[in-house]
Structures are given as C-alpha cells and as structure tokens.
Structure 1
Amino acid sequence: MLQRSVFGTHVGMRWKSFLAPWQQLDWPLLGLTLGLTGLGGVMIRSAELNNGQTDWWWHWIIGGIGLAIILTLARWRYELLIQWHWVVYAITLVGLIAVMFLGTSANGAQRWIGILGFQVQPSEFAKIGLIISLAAILHSEPASTLMAVLRTLGVAAVPWLFVFLEPNLGTSLVFGSITMGMLYWGNANPGWLLLMISPIISAIVFNAYLPAWFFWLGGMVYIGWRSFSWPILGALGALAVNAVSGGLGHMLWGLLKDYQKARLLLFLDPDQDPLGGGYHLIQSKIAIGAGGIWGRGLHQGTQTQLRFIPEQHTDFIFSAIGEELGFIGCLCVLLAFWFLCLRLVIIAQNAKDNFGSLIAIGVLSMIVFQTIVNIGMNIGVAPITGIPLPLLSYGRSALLANFLGLGLVQSVANHRPRLKF
C-alpha cells in the first residue's frame, strides 16, 4: 500500500511538472476552441458525405496542428512581439502584395498563393498581423488623442486597401471591425468612432430612405458638437462629411464588382433570382427551418445530404447545423461562441499590460464580427459576404489564422500575474 502511495505521488509530481509551463493557461477557452473545431469536422463530413471528399479530415488535421501552435505560443512570451511589430507589419504587406502578382483567381477574386501544393490565403493571416501591429501602436500611445487615432487608422488603411483590391469585401470588413474594436479598447472617444463609420451609414440611408437620412444627419451633427474640443468645427465637419457621403454612395457603388452588388441586392429580396444569386440564401433558410427544434439527425438532412446548397461545408456550414441538429444545436453553438468571447474579455481585463489586453480584444473583434455576419447571412438577416464561421467552416488558412490568434491570447493568459491565495 505504501509503495502504491509513493508511486502515485511520484506520478502526480511528474504530471504537475509536465503541466507547469501551462499553469495559467485558460483551459475553458482551449476546450471551447477544440470543441467547436471538432464539431466543424463532424458537420463538414455530413455536408460532403455523398461526394467522396475528405475535407473533414483536413479540418481535424489543421485543428491538431492548431493545438500544437496554441500550446507552443502559450509558453512563448507574447510581449517580445512589441519590438518586432514593424517586421510583422512588413511581412503582412509583402504577403498581400505577392497575392496580387502571383496569386490564383476564383469567382472574380485573386486571393490565393500556391505554396508546396497548398493554397494559402494571405489575407487570413493578415488579420493576425494587423492585430499585432495595432496592439503595439496603441500600447505605446493610447488612442486618447485625435492624432493617435489617425495614426492607427493610417497603419490599418494600407493592408485594408490591398485586401479590398483583391477584391475581398468580406475580409476588408473584418479589418474594419478589428480596427474599431481595438481603438475603442485603446481609449478612443466613442463619438469619434461613430463619426468615422457614419459616412458609410449615411450613404446607405440617403439612397434607401431620404427622410430617415435627415434624422441621421442631425444626430451626427450633435455627436460632432459633443465629441471635439472645438464644438462648432466638429459639428460642421460632421455635417459636411455626411452630406457629401450621401451623393458619393453612387460612386462607391460603382467600385464594387457585379457579384458583390448582386449579393447586397439579393439579400433584400432573394426571390428576385431564386435560381441564381439568391439560391444559396433561399436554400439555407429552408434547411434551417426544416431542422425544427431537435433537427433531422446527423446525416439525415435532406437539403444537406442532397446537396441543395453548393459548397455548404464552407460559408454555409451553419445551415447544416440548423437542419441536422435543429434549434437546440444552433443554440448550443451560439452559447459556445458566447462563452468563448466571454473568456477573451476576461483575459483582456486580467492581462498584465495593455499590449496583451489589446491582442485579446483584437481577436475578440475578429471572431465576434465574423460570427455575427456569417450566421446572419445563413438566416437571411445579413448579405452574403463570403465570411467563414470561425472554427466551424472549412478553410485551412482561416482555421490556422484563428488558432494563431487564440494562441497569442493563450500566451497573454499564461503570462498574466499569478493569483495569490
């Protein structure tokens, strides 16, 4: 009995010694990450069950590689990136420029580079590069002054422009979300942030419903008055920018590709082209509605198994979850994302420095925006933008980028101040 006790104590000490480098790891966040990735593989397999593809295997393989990345980054001190953030920024820009000259095209966009037989999407990794760059900049100078905000926007604008020119409207919107979220956490005036996005909203409202535009214009003038040290100049500036942006909406519309225009228009009424641009959205809503409360069962969904939704394993994986796992399955996925985001907020609040806190908020902004837009377009309340559902949609570059971001967050958690009892 004594020998068993000694043996058990020895094993326990060796196990604790093995886990010591990850003592502060956020295990709930890791469990949610792996759980969603595992579910993604299951649903991808169901979506492609009858066509002989093996993308679900690749999803799990990349998930295994991602787990190794998380555990490696968690041991590494993330703050070392502060002195290397301009190198990270330069590598990000080189990747985005390279895809313009060496990339392959599909569906009117040039987004992929072939490396060792694999198609790599630099714009996905550029999200992480942007988060690191902005976190370092806002760490050195918080966005409490207008000049600091403009400098941050200038840094974000360059990779955003390259992504927009691919063209990749969805990812460019993610870049905007990351920038706005990190500026807010970096102590920027909320009024400034609202005024920055107001021209886009003003252009949409002006062309959609003119009476509502006048109320919007009045609200922006009031915010401009309250948000600047020179109230009159702030109000006049808000008035001028929002007044001009209404007319510029037509010009900006002309810059979009035909398929991008179709996605935005058919979101409002997909029945205009039920066999063309509106087909995905109509079939996705049918699939989710057919799932009911408990779903039809794994591999039992008619829309999914009969392949009514092309490429369902990518942007429309949520429709497969809705049909085969039902409302309960969708609710569980939403709760999992909610808890994952909650862990990111907690890590940001408990980080030992602003740099780590901003990294966590950047990853949070990326995941929240992509989740809301993707699920929204699956249920018909958001236009189809080609944004994948984090950890669930098939896409090797996107999945690896998510694991890289979450690995950096785990490093922030693992190196936070130790709790004293």
Structure 2
Amino acid sequence: MLRKSPYKIRWQYLFAAWKQIDWWLLALCVGMSLFGGIMIRSTELNQGLTDWWQHWLVGGVGLTVAMFIARWRYENLLQLHWFIYSITNISLIAVMVIGTSAKGAQRWISIAGFNLQPSEFAKVGVIITLAAILQAKTASTMPAFLKALAITAVPWALVFLQPDLGTSLVFGAITLGMLYWGNANPGWLILLASPLVSVILFNVFLPGWVVWTIAMCAIAYLTLPWQRIGAVGAVVVNLLAGELGSILWNVLKDYQKDRIILFLNPEKDPLGGGYHLIQSRIAIGAGERWGQGLNNGTQTQLNFIPEQHTDFIFSAIGEELGFVGCLAVLFVFWLICWRLLHIARTAKDNFGSLLAVGVLSMLVFQVIVNISMTIGLAPVTGIPLPLVSYGRSAMLTNFIALGIVESVANYRQRLKFY
C-alpha cells in the first residue's frame, strides 16, 4: 500500500482552516488590487509619488485581515452586532468633534499620522447590523421594515452631516439591497425612493412629476397595510418633495451643488467644477479601441486630471487600455458579483446570505456610480472604484467585507480538522 507524503499531509492541514472559501472570489479581488496599483503608478509616473506601492501594502494588510476573518465563524457577529453598531456611530460622531477637514468636508481621524475614514468602515457596520436584524425577523411586515430603516437612519444622518454625500448614497443602496433580499415588498422600496425621484421631476419635467405622483398613489394603495391612508400619504409626501428638495439643496455645500449640476453641462464651468469631467471624457475617448498603451496616455501622463489616482482612475484605464481594457475591468467586476451572489444563495442561514448581499449591494452601486461619473452619466459624488482607486480606508473596508463573505462561504458546512 502506498503511503502518503508527510509534506502533502502537512500542507493539507495548514490550509484546512480555509478549505471551503471561495478561491475564485479571493483571486479576483487580489488581482483587481494588483491591477489598481499598476494604474495608480501610471497616473503618478511623472510626479515621483509612491501611492501605488502604498496601495499594494494596504492591500496586503487587508488580505491578511481577510484571511483571519475567513477562518473565524461569522455567526459570532450576531452576538456583537449591537456593539459594532455602537462603535460605528461613536466613530462617526468623533469625526465631527475631533476629525480633520479637507476639501470642504470633515471625514478623517488622524491616528499616529495615519488618516482613518470612519464612514468607510461604517459601511461594514451597517451591513452586519442590518443582517442581524433582518435574520431575526424579515422585512415582510411593516414594523420590521420600519425598524430596519430607523437603525440605518442614524449612521446615514451622521455621514450626510460630515458632509459625505457619496457614502450616504452607498448606505442607501446597501439598505435597499438587503431589504429586498430580506423579503420586503418591492412596492415599499419604490415608495421609499419616490421622494428623490419627485424632487428631480418637479424641477425638470412637471408633467412627469404628476404621472409619477399618481403612480405612487396606486402603489401605496396596493401594497401598504393601510390602503387609503397610505395612498393619501404617498401623494402628500411626493407633493412636498419639491419644496423639501429646495430646503435640502440649501443644506448642501457649494462644491456638492456643482457636482450634482455640472455633470449635465460641464462646459458651463470648464476651468472649475466641470474641469474634471471634461478632461475625463477626453481621456476615455482618446483611448479608442485598444488604448494608447500603459504609461503612454497623454491626458494621464501630463496630469490633466487632478487626483486621477482616486475617484477618476477609470479615466486612466480608458485612455491607456482603451475600450477593450474597460470591458475587461467590467467583466472582472461582473465575475466578483457573480461569486458574491453564489455565496449568498448557498449560505447555510439567512444571516450569512444577508451579509453577502450587503457586500454585493455596496460593490455594485460603487462600481456603477464611479464609472458613470467618469463618463458623464452621473454627478461626481466622490465614490471610489472598489479595489482599484487609491484609498487606504476604502481598501481595508473592502478586504474586511471580503473576509466576512469568505467566512460565510467557509462555514457553509461544518468542517472537521484532524
């Protein structure tokens, strides 16, 4: 009888703790992080900066953290979710008290020379808290639905007041995605988003606003438990949305207003608020089909796009790798989302499934908005491209979320270690 090699047995034992993690998901995320460093280096080639290797360094730390989380049973988060929720809100309050300001917002806390952005980590905190709440009682009833919204409203408001419009929108996407997966009535989700749509239509296309309000009245009547009261309430809310929109508009900072308006006509302020978008579209268009080659993009190498290594990294991809490179990046993100959805569907319990869907919602929204704003289809909201854009707090957050999802995959069945 053949005897097994002791070295083979030793390696099997070494990796036994991660036996069931999704290696494809891990490889795709690590690959995108490495690719991000390459593109960041290209944007800084003539500036002598070293953000690209910092991107890899933080990614390496994040990967280590993710691997430790992956071998830790995710069910333990159920006992810790209120503690995590409290720490999340305390950190967001601390930013408003002792945080440092930059570019018109107070979002960072400086610790030993390292700037942490609590709003990034708050995304994971909200995902864990909502998953714990919804696994205990699904959002199929109105009380459970409203409870989930109330819990999310606190960190959302704290982030919005920093002000950080982009991250607050991510919170909204996470909440909608997890409520949908948690059996919330789709009509309730439409009604939840209806005031925002009414604000836009009221100021842009009044007949469309009238039709939308009537449609919301019908949805409220058909889906809410209090049919008549709900229908009247939906009409009132959408009628008031226009005026409330004006009030909220005055709350926003000037640079946030520019980001919302100028994407429709960036040529209105070509040397100010519209400059980023104009240069980004020129760069992506210049890439054509195959791109100008890595480190050869004229807009990128001549630094026409300020801070390109962060929110506008996709413009460098479009210019230097072309349409084909952009499609390849989108395809990799699609594969990552597919693996996340697979883990959500095969999780052994609702808690694990909701965790995976929360991370999926966060990723999908950030990718869509970031790419849309670089090509002029959405306002510039300051949302980074996950795993690719430079941002230490964002990178750590992505890998912490990855570790939690990998833990869900790892413990789909109880493993026995010998």
- Measured against the shorter chain, the TM-score band is over 0.9
- The reply on whether 1:195 has 2:183 as its aligned counterpart is no
Out of 14, 38, 52, the position equivalent to 1:18 is 14
Which residue type is aligned with residue 94 of structure 2? A
Q: 2:327 maps to what in 1? A: 331
* Structure 1 residue 215, shift from structure 2 partner: 1.1
CA distance in 2, matches of 1:84, 1:75: 17
Counterparts of residues 2-401 of structure 1 (less than 5 Å): 9-401=5-397
Q: Which moved more, 1:236-245 or 1:312-321?
A: 236-245
Determine helix, strand or coil for the equivalent of 1:114: strand
CA distance in 1, matches of 2:196, 2:35: 36
Determine helix, strand or coil for the equivalent of 1:352: coil
CA distance in 2, matches of 1:92, 1:234: 33
CA distance in 1, matches of 2:88, 2:390: 23
Segments of 4+ moved more than 4 angstroms: none
Q: Which moved more, 1:239-248 or 1:326-335?
A: 239-248
* Structure 1 residue 94, shift from structure 2 partner: 1.0
Which residue type is aligned with residue 392 of structure 1? V
* Structure 1 residue 67, shift from structure 2 partner: 1.2
Which residue type is aligned with residue 308 of structure 2? Q
CA distance in 2, matches of 1:185, 1:331: 28
Which residue type is aligned with residue 120 of structure 2? E
Which residue type is aligned with residue 334 of structure 2? W
* Structure 1 residue 418, shift from structure 2 partner: 6.7
CA distance in 1, matches of 2:82, 2:257: 36
Determine helix, strand or coil for the equivalent of 1:268: coil
CA distance in 1, matches of 2:253, 2:97: 19
Gaps of 5+ in 1: none
Determine helix, strand or coil for the equivalent of 2:305: coil
Which residue type is aligned with residue 244 of structure 1? L
Gaps of 5+ in 2: none
* Structure 1 residue 234, shift from structure 2 partner: 2.2
* 1:217-245 Cα shifts (integer Å, max 9, x gaps): 11111111111233222221211111111
* Structure 1 residue 116, shift from structure 2 partner: 1.2
Which residue type is aligned with residue 204 of structure 1? I
- TM-score, normalization: structure 1? 0.97
* 1:75-106 Cα shifts (integer Å, max 9, x gaps): 00010010111100111011101111111101
Which residue type is aligned with residue 278 of structure 2? I
- TM-score, normalization: structure 2? 0.97
Are the equivalent residues in 2 in contact too, given 1:207–1:249 (CA < 8 A)? no
Are the equivalent residues in 2 in contact too, given 1:351–1:417 (CA < 8 A)? no
Q: Percent identity?
A: 63
